[in-house]
Structure 1
């Protein structure tokens, strides 16, 4: 597909249906491709520690703004609502535009289901997948989906489950503090979903990047976040039992955004998944372990190490 470059590693890639996707290309330009799926809300904004970690490990870091975020064209609403699996078609478009074949993938928080979708639906191309504090399916059998979740996220997802109209009304009010937050006040904007463990990590460069990411995510208003939330609580459009590539599940108990039990459930239900479950990690603090997470992903994929593949 046609693509244009902004000269800073940001590309606009055109999909077969005429939409544009905002793509950020970094890390080791000659490295093995790693596709990162950000959380909710999210946008493709460079984070130097992550970019440098990927480069150290010989990974080409590719991420993108999902439809409705940043400069990525929203998808037209459908009667069935958005599906996580729909993002896999966009992933294929991006990979093909960058002339990339096989890849690794990592999804953080709301990006976790997208990484699992790649593992299930692109087994010939996806060598390994990881979820980092990723959500479990809304209809997960035996999981109390809201147990341990902060009140803001409980309200968010219960409203999403009521449908688009109610969810749009809520997000029009609740996301304004996040979309306008500065590095100095982003922690307060999270409210009760930020545990003390995570609040201690929401400082410095990470807080600045988080604030910039939220501002970029809200460039078109709430449309991207609405579709993200609806996709998470709706049918994902693929079956976890179809996953046949290596998967790692990373989760901390000090997490009120995506509770620990989500990670434990995924580790038990994704075929062959390796569990990395911690008592003392939160939603944010796991990012500080990115070198370990990415090195483990390389191992799972059977790659020899930095620069290989």
Structure 2
């Protein structure tokens, strides 16, 4: 059973968006932008970290995931606009935008588009903007399995074909990642496996959006931003964090040298404390 309260919102263009919330209605909000693939349901470690600090946590299933109507061709900015509608509907006045992995770009886009409510941003193993085919070698460097993103360069149909035969590369995760998935973040692993089967179109649209213009510039993110990166990450390598810090006006890098793509999520509680002290 999903944690928190489930909402279904009717968006201005007629689509449905599924969202979840947990915590006091009057509290500051942590907006959790899920990775790829995920259902958007709240995860126990995220809820626990928010509850321990008296915060309200909100998550939305991106278009194509978790019952939210698919929006083929959506940009990173499009997904952030959807989350903005959720925040308005729930009466959120002050937020921290947090994104893990594929959620990172969307958290930054929300911070850029909604400075009226977003007072800080955190990315955990977040993807950096794609520089274009001329610079793609460095962007892909260090990824244990870059097949999905490379196929996305040729559009949704190519990405869908790739997904029909692709298998997960076990070398993508470190021993610490596997320990995290067997322990505190077990719900994330289960949700990702279920979501990849149930809503493959969501991941297709995510990957295509990552390698195309995001629809928002990182220099528009005025809020303090914490870029958290595992030095041993084999899914989103460390140099993505460097690209983000270079492009963001008010960013600082927190490098955790031994962490991989999942184990770095253990930094979330301290990242929430960083926001409260920074703002």
TM-score (norm 1): 0.83
Q: Hey, what does 1:3 align to over in structure 2?
A: none
What is residue 113 of structure 2 aligned with on the other side?
A: 121
- Answer whether contact 1:45 1:209 (CA < 8 A) is retained: no
Matching of residues 73-222 of structure 1 within 5 Å = 73-75=69-71, 77=72, 81-139=73-131, 144-151=138-145, 154-174=146-166, 189-216=168-195, 218-219=197-198, 221-222=199-200
Change (3 A) 1:123 1:169: same
**Any conservation in 1 of the 2:159–2:204 contact (CA below 8 Å)?**
yes
1:245 matched to 2:239 = no
Displacement of 1:212 in angstroms is 2.7
Q: Does 1:40 align with 2:18?
A: no
Tell me the distance in 1 between the aligned counterparts of 2:42 and 2:252.
Answer: 29
Aligned to 1:19: 15
Q: How far is the alpha carbon of 1:201 from its aligned partner? A: 2.2
Structure 1 SS opposite 2:58: strand
Deviation at 1:280, TM superposition (A): 1.1
- Contact in 2 for aligned 1:31/1:58 (Cα 8 Å): yes
Q: Decide whether aligned partners of structure 1 residues 103 and 7 sit closer, same or farther in structure 2, where only a CA change above 3 A counts.
A: closer
How many angstroms apart in 1 are the aligned matches of 2:271 and 2:224? Answer: 14
Q: CA RMSD in A?
A: 2.1
- The residue matched to 1:113 in structure 2 has which SS? helix
Preserved contact between residue 130 and residue 248 of structure 1 (Cα < 8 Å): yes
Q: How many residues are treated as equivalent by the alignment?
A: 276
1:276 has 2:254 as partner: yes
Partner of 1:298: 276
Q: Which ranges in structure 1 are unaligned for 5 or more consecutive residues? A: 1-5, 178-188, 303-309
Residues in 2 aligned to 1:63 and 1:10: alpha-carbon distance in whole angstroms: 10
Q: Distance in 2 between matches of 1:12 and 1:214?
A: 23
The aligned residue for residue 305 of structure 1 is none
For each residue in 1:76-107, what CA deviation from the matched residue of structure 2 results, as whole angstroms up to 9, or x when unmatched?
Answer: x3xxx321011122012101111223311101
How far apart are residue 240 of structure 1 and its match?
1.1
Q: Deviations over 1:258-305 (max 9, x none)?
A: 0011112211221120110121111111212221011112223x2xxx
Regions of 4+ moved over 3 Å: 27-30, 140-143
Give structure 2 stretches of 5+ with no counterpart: none
Whether contact under 8 Å (2:3, 2:42) holds in the other structure is no
Over alpha carbons, which structure has the higher Rg? 1
Q: 1:205 offset after TM fit, Å?
A: 4.6
The DSSP-based 3-state class of the residue aligned with 1:85 is helix
TM-score in terms of structure 2 length: 0.92
For 1:7 and 1:118, how far apart are their aligned partners in 2?
A: 23
In 2, distance between residues paired with 1:57 and 1:93? 25
